[in-house]
Amino acid sequence: MTASPSRYFTSGRLGVEVHADRPALGLAAAQAAAAYLHDVIASRGQARVIFACAPSQNEFLASLLAVSKTGHMAVDWSQVTAFHMDDYVGLTGQHPQSFRHYLQTHFLSHVKIGRFHPVPAEEPDSAAVCARYTALLSEKPIDLICLGIGENGHIAFNDPPVADFEDPQLIKVVELDDACRHQQVNDGCFPTFADVPRHAFTLTVSIFRRARRLSIHVPGPRKADAVKATLEGPVSTACPASILRLHPEATLYIDRAAAGRLTG
């Protein structure tokens, strides 16, 4: 079955698909991502992908596992190098709230990935971690980034106070703003606001701007304000995701709940 949007439009250069619900959104994004990766591997022999790690990605990742097994969307995961885009400073990869644990549980444990480069967020020398990860990211272009948008408009952990559209760094340590930390509680990732770490490693906006293609998955009513700001507000670090409107090869997949505040 091929998922078709109930509505399609563009905002700047950004394509926007509105789907009925989260499963339909996840399936449509997964089908497009798998077909793209299939073609990239067929033409270049390998692909480099960055994954977001959050509950908003659940349906996408589950569908990607399913649709990438056979046919014209089959993906040879052994030819894929994977990265993730953020993690909390100090948490190990085995910690249940770490993003490495999320990605391992929801995706990596189900495929034979060629190589996965984790951010070792528990290491004490953050500058050294950033330097090594920068080198890995810089080896070759990133073919695809699969991402979400936060309630405050962040992409990765580029919250409004720290987002820089011309960031000279590819990864850095940031202090999370309160809206971002509250979202982690809203998402069920932490029991209370006080439990949410204050600092995290994040890929910067620059890596998103350089990637060949972006697949953006944003479900649910709590994202409606951020979607509206992303698509209808000014391109500004007040809503970091607004920069996505300038990317030449990007699609935003939303459900009707996330589209609820759009004027068009």
- Render pLDDT for 81-94 as a digit per residue (tens, 0 to 9): 999 999 999 999 99
Beta strands 213-218 and 250-255, pairing class: parallel
Task: Round to whole Å and give the CA distance between 169 and 131.
Answer: 10
Contacts of 9 (CB under 8 A, 6+ apart): 16, 264
pLDDT of residue 2: 65
Count Cα atoms within 13 angstroms, Cβ side, for 232: 11
Asked if residue 148 lies in contact with residue 158, where contact means CB atoms within 8 angstroms, the answer is: no
Task: Round to whole Å and give the CA distance between 91 and 264.
Answer: 42
Cα angle 226, 227, 232 (rounded to 5 degrees) comes to: 105
Domain ranges in the chain are: 32-221
pLDDT in tens, the chain (264 residues): 667 788 999 999 999 999 999 999 999 999 999 999 999 999 999 999 999 999 999 999 999 999 999 888 999 999 999 999 999 999 999 999 999 999 999 999 999 999 999 999 999 999 999 999 999 999 999 999 999 999 999 999 999 999 999 999 999 999 999 989 988 888 888 899 998 889 999 999 999 999 999 999 999 999 999 999 999 999 999 999 999 999 999 999 999 999 999 997
Q: Is 146 helix (H, G, I), strand (E, B) or coil?
A: strand
| Alpha helices (H) along the chain | 22-44, 58-67, 99-106, 126-138, 178-186, 205-210, 224-232
pLDDT of residue 155: 98
pTM to 2 decimal places:
0.96
The CATH architecture annotation of domain 32-221 reads: 3-Layer(aba) Sandwich (3.40)
